[in-house]
């Protein structure tokens, strides 16, 4: 366990070292970064959109069932908007990326560790963290908030479409309620926590990859562990940021 934590500290220190020359120091390769940006960002849009759209509709349905009883159906917009923008957009995006990108990071690095590719990089004098982890980190820190933003938009719009066409609310009223109740503070708190989620997924995923020792079994074990630990850390970070937002309201 102490060795595992030493490895984590080593990874964080080496990553902090990358900040000195973030985009010019060797062996940072812009193509690696573009590859990850495309893969994490563009390729995740279909699944993020589908899940956010379904969540928007589910929230509208759940809210309508309760609010209808007290004659406050127009407040469906508030509930959907705040739930999605403050909480579910960033959280669901992070959970999707933990399963999609985090697991892939672990599997890639663990396989490279076992096949001595990481040793080869180090022996060639290439910083394996700068070569392998830094482009992933840059891509995740940029893409997680952007995808969360997209999830917010998709969730709110799908909830709106459902509310207008099925629940019979007016489009203008829905927009007014949403725009009034989603403050900039709520909006930005969602983006800030997305950034933290992205960083956490990268760190856990890459750390578990570097811990792999031997055999395909360990790659599988490390990948599972990375996903579980990422989900756990995402929820803890979410609790922390939500509590912080509540105290600072």
The residues of the shown chain that bind other proteins, judged by CB under 8 A, are 26-27, 112, 115-117, 119-126
| Nearest-approach distance from CB 118 to other proteins, in angstroms | 9
| Nearest-approach distance from CB 93 to other proteins, in angstroms | 26
Closest CB to other proteins among 216 and 244? 216
Report DSSP state, residue 101: I
Rounded-to-integer distance, Cα 170 and Cα 98, Å: 37
What sections of the chain are H helices per DSSP? 2-18, 30-36, 45-67, 76-82, 89-97, 103-114, 117-123, 128, 134-162, 171-181, 184-211, 215-247
Closest CB to other proteins among 36 and 193? 36
Closest CB to other proteins among 108 and 152? 108
- CA of residue 5 relative to chain centroid, distance: 23
| Nearest-approach distance from CB 208 to other proteins, in angstroms | 19
Rounded-to-integer distance, Cα 102 and Cα 112, Å: 16
| Nearest-approach distance from CB 13 to other proteins, in angstroms | 13
- CA of residue 98 relative to chain centroid, distance: 7
**Do residues 198 and 143 lie in contact, with contact meaning Cβ atoms separated by under 8 Å?**
yes
- Residue 153, classed as helix, strand or coil, is helix
| Nearest-approach distance from CB 210 to other proteins, in angstroms | 13
| Burial annotation 138-169 (CB, 10 A radius, 16+ → b, else e) | bbbbbbbbbbbbbbbbbbbbbbbbbbbeebeb
| Nearest-approach distance from CB 119 to other proteins, in angstroms | 6
Closest CB to other proteins among 202 and 229? 202
Rounded-to-integer distance, Cα 78 and Cα 177, Å: 6
Closest CB to other proteins among 57 and 110? 110
| Nearest-approach distance from CB 133 to other proteins, in angstroms | 15
Rounded-to-integer distance, Cα 192 and Cα 146, Å: 11
Cα angle, residue 97 at apex, residues 10 and 117 outer, rounded to 5°? 45
Looking up tokens 């009883």 gives 69
């Amino acid at each position: 366990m102490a060795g595992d934590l030493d490895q984590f500290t080593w990874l964080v220190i080496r990553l902090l070292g990358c900040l000195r020359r973030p985009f010019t120091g060797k062996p940072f390769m812009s193509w690696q970064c573009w590859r990850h940006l495309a893969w994490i960002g563009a390729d995740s849009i279909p699944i993020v959109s589908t899940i956010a759209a379904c969540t928007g509709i589910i929230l509208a349905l759940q809210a309508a069932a309760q609010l209808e009883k007290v004659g406050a159906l127009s407040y469906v917009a508030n509930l959907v908007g705040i739930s999605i923008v403050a909480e579910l957009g960033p959280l669901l995006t992070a959970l999707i990326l933990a399963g999609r990108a985090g697991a892939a990071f672990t599997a890639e690095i663990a396989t490279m560790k076992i096949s001595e590719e990481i040793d080869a990089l180090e022996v060639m004098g290439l910083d394996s963290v700068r070569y392998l982890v830094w482009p992933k980190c840059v891509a995740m820190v940029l893409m997680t908030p952007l995808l969360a933003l997209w999830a917010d938009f998709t969730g709110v719009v799908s909830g709106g479409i459902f509310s207008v066409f099925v629940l019979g609310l007016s489009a203008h009223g829905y927009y007014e309620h949403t725009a009034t109740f989603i403050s900039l503070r709520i909006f930005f708190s969602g983006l800030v926590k997305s950034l933290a989620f992205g960083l956490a997924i990268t760190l856990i995923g890459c750390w578990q990859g570097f811990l792999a020792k031997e055999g395909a079994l360990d790659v599988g074990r490390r990948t599972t562990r990375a996903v579980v630990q990422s989900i756990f850390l995402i929820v803890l970070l979410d609790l922390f940021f939500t509590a912080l937002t509540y105290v600072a309201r």
